[in-house]
Structure 1
Amino acid sequence: MPRGGRKGQHRQSRRTGTFDPEDAKRVRHTRIGVWDFYEEKQPILGWNIPGTSTLEHYLEVTRSLPYVWRMMQDISNIRNCWMLIILYITVELTQSLIPAASLWYSGQLLTIVQTAIDTRTVDQDFLVRISAGRMGCAVLGRLLGHVKTSISYPLSNRLKQHYTVHLLYARARLDLPTFEDPAVQRQLEEASQSSRGGVAWDTFSMVVSAVSTAIHITSEVSMLVAVLRDQPDSTLLATICLSQSLLDWFSKNNSIDRGQGVWAATTRNEDYIKMQGLKRVVSLPEHRKEFVAGNLAEYCTSLFREAAQRVGDQAGDFWEVRREWKNRRRLSFASIIKEPWKELPQIVFTLRAVRYPASIPVSLASLNLIQHTASSFGWTVYRFIDQFGSIADQLATVRKLYDIVNIPNRIPDGTVPFPEDAQKAKAGIDVEFRNVSFRYPDSEIWALRNVSFKLIPGQLGVIVGANGSGKSTVLKLIMRLYDVEEGEILIDGRDIRTLKLGDLRQSVSVLFQDYTHFPLSIRDNIALGNPSHAANDDQVRLAARLGGAEEFIERLPEGFDTYLERPVTDYYSALPEGTKTIFGKPVDYGGIRGVASLQSNTGHNLSGGQMQRLAVARTFMRSIVSEDSTVGLLLFDEPSASLDPTAEHDLFTRLRQLRGSKTMLFSSHRFGNLTRHADLILYMNDSAIEETGTHSELLARDGGYARIWKLQAQAFI
């Protein structure tokens, strides 16, 4: 399928409706090498002018104008932006008039030549002034270009910084099911796609450039008419030269892209697909361990060679193959006629010189002036048409930039503040499931089916069962990452859907099995356990100590300032072989001679148990260390999955000692230290609760819990 991000290759279609590659009436199919290329058939009057394929494309402009006005209002509130904007526009518009001024001076030089022929005299002062003016235009153009570049960087940087915050907020506000929706991800991606300067800068500079180009065209044509009005055959020469530019433009436009509209491409060639897969197997680092251990080098090379022989010269990257296909289609009527057409100005000039030999100098100067202006004019017109089509696309991007902050979340916020009594909440929160059933989005399989249980304030509950039985889903529903499909969840006797989401999540601390570590320092990772309050170093160290992480953190070279994953990559060129370290990382020349490599930028490699201790420390930061914490419910999803038995015992002991009267709910597939002390055990199997009770009650029942308990106990006998 077509790739994104190839600027200049194609534009994203803004059209509504559908595109069906199998619809032969509306879609043309072309075989390009191993690729099947499908493109929407253009109407008979559908000229291939960029941005003019359909009227609907231009309606995007009118729909986007209110958003552009909103963008201008936002820009006006950015510090010191308006002065730079006015200066940038002034420079851009002044630049657009320089070609016309240069053309006027060239016309005056023609007048001097004509006067010299007629009177055999030259006004030297006038010649000096005109020459100085002509050169001054060139110098002024260069200076204005430098000023424009100098203004562009701070202006684009301020606009980009402002809208970076906007995009960050648009993503941050989305709940889990909304964020996971592929359609939402596409919408976010489309709103974020832009050049290095960002959407606001692209829009501003594109509109100003289009206005500047229009002024450039108008002023240059007007000046050309005024300069050549009295020159012999100038109208004919200008018409021929300008028509050359139009022929050149048509030949390029008609041969370059039939795919500017809606199109798609795919390949069904099994050998080519296998070749690309083998390339990944050989090239990607994540496959290298098994590739080397499995002794796959000769086998994969043989498979690739055989597939390549069967595909032959039909194989190739889509963009490469498509470019070659377009090159073969460049021959057209316009491309054929434009070559002899280029000779017409010289023929007209020759005929003129034969008839009027005395006017040769002026005619020759006029011819050069016209040809130079026509060439510049043709390119400028083409750029203007292309810009006009791009503006429609760009303004649609502005609309999408603002629309993303209005994407509705799937989980509606409640209206009831929680808790009514913060001190009471610290003493424990009541949790009750009533006949809860739930399926994950786009899944037909029940993750939970008719689940009911109740934890009273201060109780220790443990959910046990095999992987995939629904343990983690219970915790996610308590955090309201998803809403139940059937039944209800009560928190302190209230329907969880009525509570304010921010209040609920501030009162609950959770450690998920698939916990994450942020690309920040260890100190910041732990401090984020309590994001609503500033954490000091003493609190961070205490949380690390309680989580069992302080000892190994102190052994790291940078201690709590260590980055688990450094979010910025180091760049370097070829290094002298005497270089031993750079940026504190050792330089390795042990691979290819003359090529240096640095130690990975991803931070220090910690074990799974150490990473889990950091996650537990972050949870302690939220629930226990912070003095003003309102947390009354602690949720732990497989908190000891990566811990050794000693660390697991120490963790559970600390949790029981430090939790006070808070309600605590664990999910685990391990039985032992935790379940012995549980007030309530929920044994789950196949998305449902099969048994409930204490450890001794479930052993006496001799059911599923007792069977797994005995299986695990036998390993230590």
Structure 2
Amino acid sequence: MHKRRRQRLSDRKGTFDPADAEHVKHTRVGVWDLYEEVGPVAAKLPGASSYERWVQVKNDLPYVWRMLKDLGSIGDCWLLLAGYLAVEWTASLLPAVALWYTGQLLEVVQFAMDHRAVDLGLLLKVAAAKLACSIFQRILDHAKQRLSIPLNARIKRHYSVHVFNAMARLDVPTFDDDAVQRQLEHSLPANSRSSIAWDMVVRTSKLISISLQLVSQVSVLTHVLRGQHDGPLLAALSFGHTIFRWATKRRPFMDLGVWAATTSDPDYIKLEGLKRVVGDGAHRKEIVAGGIWQFLLAEYQQRAYILGDKAGSFFEAVTASRSQESLTVVALVQEILPELPYIVFTLRAVQYPASIPASIASLNLITQTTGSFTRALFSLFDESGSLADDVASVRRLYDVVTIKNRVRDGAQPYPQNQQSLAQGITVEFRNVSFRYPGTDSWALKDVSFRLLPGQLCVIVGVNGSGKSTILKLIARLYDPTEGQILIDDQDISILRLEDLRRAMAVLFQDFTHFPLSIGDNIGLGDPQHAADEDKIREAARLGGAEEFVDRLPDGFDTYVERPVKDFYSALPEGTSTLFGRPVDHGRLRRMGGMSSRSTGLSGGQMQRIALSRTFMRSIVSESGVGLLLFDEPSASLDPSAEHDLFERLRDLKGNKTMIFSSHRFGNLTRHANLILYMDNSRIIEEGTHEQLLKHAGEYARIWGLQAQAFLP
């Protein structure tokens, strides 16, 4: 529920300034500073917030209608849904039926009082009916489960594709936006075994079911007690207590409006940091190798004693604070009301002793029904509020597919002549400057150069000088902040993105590996040939990965990072493998948790897999790729592997245009048509290898320093 309320608050419009003392109230709660919005007077009127929520529900109903139409497009979904609703609503009437037959016991008691005998036939009829209700309830529960499982699975499958599409289509700056990340998070269900659409169906069905249950139970009870002494009065008192409890129920803190909480307590912040240090496996090597665990323990103990009872999370502090609230008259009245039915019963018994058996039966019937009624009523209001959240979640589910990418697609097809790509591509930067989103510093500043078709450009310089940014802008992962980029003398922004990216092969410095098999990781270099094992093996050979991949037990079917974990219980001592994989007998074994498999590949091997993916695109799309972009492709390779890579890159290049970035000067610089030496986001020097050595500038100085490392 907390997640839903956070989503609800995140939809609010406007601003919230904790420093605005006129509209925001500040409270100290433990080590936390709580800031709560002071709403307008109208917002404090009874029902104002509920009215606002239901107005929003009305505005979101078109999205619900769209969801229903989508459900209708799923095979057999409507048939399963109709059966599910029929079972659910039929089951909601069973408590009233059972109540009716329980009420017949009153007739048994009355008959016994009047005739000093038991109506055996009626008693057996009631017993049989109650037994039948229980059996029928069990059958309906089973049917509901059998229908809900395939229904949930089909709806979940449909919307998993919907959300996958919404996430997969986003470009880099859009996906990296925190606001977009929150929007994507809110489009996912709170429970991974369900979906937002299924939650909406279940919630609506349950809401109708509870309403039917309440109406039917009250109707039956009214009819049963109509002829009993003080029966309606006892029922009114019992139900009055229930209504009073709901009306005076303390509302959850998260529903109080817009609020924010922070802490600046240095001891608490350090305490939480120390918890993360010892709880995160990433720090374990440093803790053990540095022998610092005793120091960490002493620091933690010191902070814990300083903080004392204040060392709690925000919600723990709120709970402790609210528990100190004074005892109210309302609380006392709430304790008295449940006793009123028994007081009335006692007075009735004193006045009419002969009616005691019937009164006891009536009171027992009312008490049981009131308990059921109370649970149903509270559930009704809870589900009503949750339904509003579900409707808002449905809107967010459909909104994610309308998120606009920051990098706008062009309309111009590229290239006009597909065969021209075999001769390379012209790349030109004109006074290009760029800042990454959310930063103030320039990643590139006033960069200009021109690279002709078939030429090799090597960009060199220290880390952070802007080399990688140039490649990212050419691939249009981002658009320049200032200036213009031309591809074959056309503004890059007017070219169709799909065509442009198909015409180039890229390997970035911060390369990634997908949680798929090694074969899939390489094959995704060209998705159209991802199943071609011969092409994958050839790409692996060119990328230098074939030899070590063949030594792996599963070869190209090996998963770099297995996306599905194994579940196992506490295994017999001595068990070392499970399903052919090593078993971790550490903390996860004690928990009966999950095991994972790591291939243990080195950084250089991982880079060779990424290189193979780039080679895959180049060898398969020989005539479809005209530009090769390599960003620090040898950063994790040893000198021998680097030399072999450079030779393969030269063979691969052919007539294609190639841009290669590196902080190390290698054999490629000797053959480069253009070398760009960068520092502090600018091009400091440019020219060929011989020209820059003659210039005796920074390039020549660094070249000399690196060359000396290999001289005796």
TM-score normalised by length of structure 2:
0.95
Q: 2:550, 2:7 → 1: CA distance?
A: 53
1:214 to 191, 194, 211: 211
2:336 counterpart of 1:355: no
Distance 2:217 2:41 in 1: 34
1:320, CA displacement in angstroms?
2.9
Task: Name the SS of the counterpart of 1:472 in structure 2.
Answer: helix
C-alpha change, 1:111 and 1:44, in structure 2 (3 Å) is farther
Q: 2:60: which partner in 1?
A: 64
SS at match of 1:343: helix
2:108–2:123 Cα contact (<8 Å) kept: yes
Maintained 8 Å contact 1:588/1:597? no
- The alignment yields a C-alpha RMSD, in angstroms, of 2.4
Cα distance in 2 between the residues matched to 1:576 and 1:200: 43
Alignment of 1:378-527 (within 5 A): 378-527=374-523
Q: Which residue of 2 aligns with 1:643?
A: 637
Mapped contact 2:446–2:682 kept (Cα < 8 A):
yes
Instruction: Name the structure 1 match of 2:364.
Output: 368
* 1:52 to partner: Cα distance: 6.6
| Compared CA separation, residues 52 and 564, structure 1 to 2 (3 A) | farther
For the Cα contact (< 8 Å) 2:414–2:496, is it kept in 1?
yes
Say whether residues 1:677 and 2:658 are aligned partners.
Answer: no
Aligned partner of 1:571 in structure 2 is 567
Tell me the CA shift for residue 352 of structure 1.
Answer: 1.2
Q: Deviations over 1:148-206 (max 9, x none)?
A: 12222221111111111111111111111111111111111112142231101111100
The partner residue of 1:240 within 217, 237, 240 is: 237
Counterpart pick for 1:35 among 15, 32, 39: 32
- Structure 1 window deviating more from structure 2 (304-313 vs 492-501): it is 304-313
Superposition deviation, residue 572 in structure 1: 1.9
Moved more, 24-33 or 568-577: 24-33
Task: Indicate which of 16, 19, 22 corresponds to 1:19.
Answer: 16
CA distance in 1, matches of 2:81, 2:436: 49
The structural deviation recorded for 1:585 is: 3.0
Pair 1:227 & 2:224 matched? yes
Report the secondary structure of 2:514's partner residue.
Answer: coil
Residue 173 (1) aligns with residue 169 (2): yes
Structure 1 residue runs without a partner (length 5+): none
Alignment of 1:587-666 (within 5 A): 587=583, 595=590, 601-624=596-619, 626=620, 630-666=624-660
Instruction: Answer whether contact 2:569 2:589 (CA < 8 A) is retained.
Output: no
**TM-aligned CA distance change 1:329 to 1:92, over 3 Å:** farther
What are the residue-to-residue correspondences of 1:183-198 with 2, within 5 Å?
183-195=179-191, 196-198=193-195
**Equivalence for 2:101:** 105
Q: Which position in structure 1 is the counterpart of 2:199?
A: 202
Whether contact under 8 Å (1:544, 1:617) holds in the other structure is yes
Pick closer, same or farther for the CA change 1:438–1:551 going to 2, 3 Å: same
Q: Unaligned stretches of 5+ in structure 2? A: none
Alignment of 1:551-566 (within 5 A): 551-566=547-562
Distance in 2 separating the partners of 1:132 and 1:398:
45
C-alpha distance in structure 2 between counterparts of 1:255 and 1:406, whole Å = 35
Whole-Å separation in 2 of the counterparts to 1:83 and 1:383: 28
* Aligned counterparts of 2:589 and 2:691: Cα–Cα separation in 1: 70
Query: Structure 2: how far apart are the matches of 1:223 and 1:629?
Result: 80
Report the alpha carbon displacement of residue 587 of structure 1 after superposing the two structures with TM. 4.0
Deviation at 1:393, TM superposition (A): 1.1
The 1:588/1:112 distance shift into structure 2, 3 A limit, reads closer
Instruction: Tell me the CA shift for residue 537 of structure 1.
Output: 0.8
CA distance in 2, matches of 1:136, 1:706: 95
Q: Structure 1: how far apart are the matches of 2:147 and 2:477? A: 46
1:588–1:216 CA distance, 2 compared to 1 (3 A): closer
Question: How far apart in 2 are the matches of 1:258 and 1:452?
Answer: 54
Deviations 1:211-262 (A, max 9, x none): 11111111111111111111111121011111222233345x2275475433
- For residues 95 and 593 of structure 1, the distance between their equivalents in structure 2, rounded to whole angstroms, comes to 42
The superposition leaves residues 282-340 of structure 1 with CA deviations (integer Å, 9 ceiling, x where unpaired) of 22111122222322122222222222221112211333333333344484333222223
Structure 1 residues 216 and 517, CA, compared in 2 at 3 Å: closer, same or farther?
same
Q: Does residue 1:86 correspond to 2:65, yes or no?
A: no
Question: Given that residues 675 and 687 in structure 2 are in contact (C-alpha distance below 8 angstroms), is that contact kept between their aligned partners in structure 1?
Answer: yes
User: For the Cα contact (< 8 Å) 2:567–2:594, is it kept in 1?
Assistant: no
Deviation at 1:570, TM superposition (A): 1.7
Q: Which amino acid aligns with 2:212?
A: I
> CA shift at 1:635, angstroms?
0.4
In 1: Cα distance, 2:44 partner to 2:108 partner: 45
Q: 1:431 to 1:11 in 2, by over 3 A?
A: closer
Q: Percent identity?
A: 55
Choose 639-648 or 107-116, whichever is displaced more: 107-116
CA positional deviation for 1:101:
1.2
Q: Is the 8 A contact 2:4 2:389 kept in 1?
A: no
Q: Equivalents in 2 of 1:202, 1:671: separation in Å? A: 59
CA, structure 1 residues 323+217, in 2 after alignment: closer, same or farther (shift >3 Å)? same
**1:627 Cα deviation from its structure 2 partner:** 5.2
Superposed CA offset, 1:91-114 (max 9, x none): 111111111111211222212322
